[in-house]
Amino acid sequence: MSRILVVAPNWIGDALMAQPLLARLREKRPGLKVDMLAPEWVAPVARRMPEVDEVITTPFRHGALSLRRRWQLGRALKERRYRQAIVLPNSWKAALVPFFADIPVRSGYVGESRYGLLNLLYRRGDRAMREHYARLSEAPDTEPVAPLPQPRLRVHPAQASATRTRFGLESGYAVLCPGAEYGPAKRWPYFAELAARLKQPVVLLGSQNDVPATEGIGGRNLAGRTTLDEAIDIIALAELVVSNDSGLMHVAAALGRPLVALFGSSSPEKTPPQPGRSRVLWLKPECSPCYQRECPLGHFRCMRELTVDTVLAAAAEL
């Protein structure tokens, strides 16, 4: 039975946008086993992907080279005799473990002088991220057949119900995700007013880094108080999710929840939630997308002019 190692992206949203690649690999190669090498903050999402047989959690800190530890992990993985590795991050160091593991085919996009570390190279193009990753299931310069498989995450109903009970949540709540790891330019400023006008009880979710963005917003604030697994369970039972462009936005879409996705400095043409029960709101002023952490022009029109009434109308459509 053939076995492949996929080096996961470092962001939750990117990992979910890479899931169609995994599904396409399984479609094209029946019996293929897919293992994913993932940082600890992405691993809970990878474990819920039906296409992944095993998740190997990396011990590396974000941004750290950790050369010796990468060499040790690579030598340990050599015993698994992977036939191929697909490296999804663009960094030089992300390609080291497959190289140290002597995996014969090491594929990925050209980036950071990875010639030699990778030996099956792809050229980047101007594509949405799902298509960008899915191209790695094909030969170089070949486009994947549309439509792509949709991201989906496994949820155990009993576990999700137990999580909801553990946090004392009643059914019929709305989840708001006011944070965005990349920076303030991706954060809609009117979540407090939205929380006051929603008919459902409100639950706030996010990481510890998102706690400042949730201050002053009414509802049950669980930002920084849940694990990612618990956050997934809570989102899975939500009646509505309203989120900035963030990892939790992609989680909600993969769970099939009614989702209003708010875009400002980034582009839904590049990183959209999967279609289905989602509504994307993007005013697209002439300066958007700028992909900056903070508004470089100081007016923040892309988010400031997106009104609560517009968000409520999109929620009503769902």
For 261-282, how does the pLDDT look when each residue is reduced to its tens digit (9 = 90+)? 999 999 999 999 988 899 999 9
Q: What angle do CA 217, 219, 224 make, to 5 degrees?
A: 75
Round the CA-based radius of gyration of the chain to a whole number and report it.
20
pLDDT band at 64 (very low <50, low <70, confident <90, very high): confident
Over residues 53-65, mean pLDDT: 88
Alpha carbons 242 and 225: distance in angstroms, whole number: 19
Enter the pTM of the model. 0.95
Peptide bond into 289 cis (omega under 30): yes
pLDDT for 1 equals: 64
Q: What is the pLDDT of residues 158-213, one digit of tens each?
A: 999 999 999 999 999 999 999 998 889 999 999 999 999 999 999 999 999 999 99
Exposure of 177 in the CB half-sphere (CA atoms within 13 A)? 28
CB atoms within 10 A of CB 299: 11
The percentage of residues in the chain with a pLDDT greater than 70, rounded to a whole number, is 100
Alpha carbons 128 and 249: distance in angstroms, whole number: 16
The percentage of residues in the chain with a pLDDT greater than 90, rounded to a whole number, is 92
- Going from the N-terminus, what domains does the chain have, and what CATH number goes with each? 3-137 (3.40.50.2000), 157-317 (3.40.50.2000)
Mean pLDDT for all residues in the chain: 95
The answer for residues whose C-beta is within 8 angstroms of residue 140's C-beta and 6 or more apart is 120, 121, 122, 123
Alpha carbons 10 and 266: distance in angstroms, whole number: 18
Over residues 131-135, mean pLDDT: 97
Alpha carbons 268 and 270: distance in angstroms, whole number: 5
Alpha carbons 315 and 110: distance in angstroms, whole number: 41
Hunting for tokens 């960008």 — which residue is that?
132
Cα dist. 100→63, 65, 108, 120, 130 in Å? 19, 14, 16, 16, 28
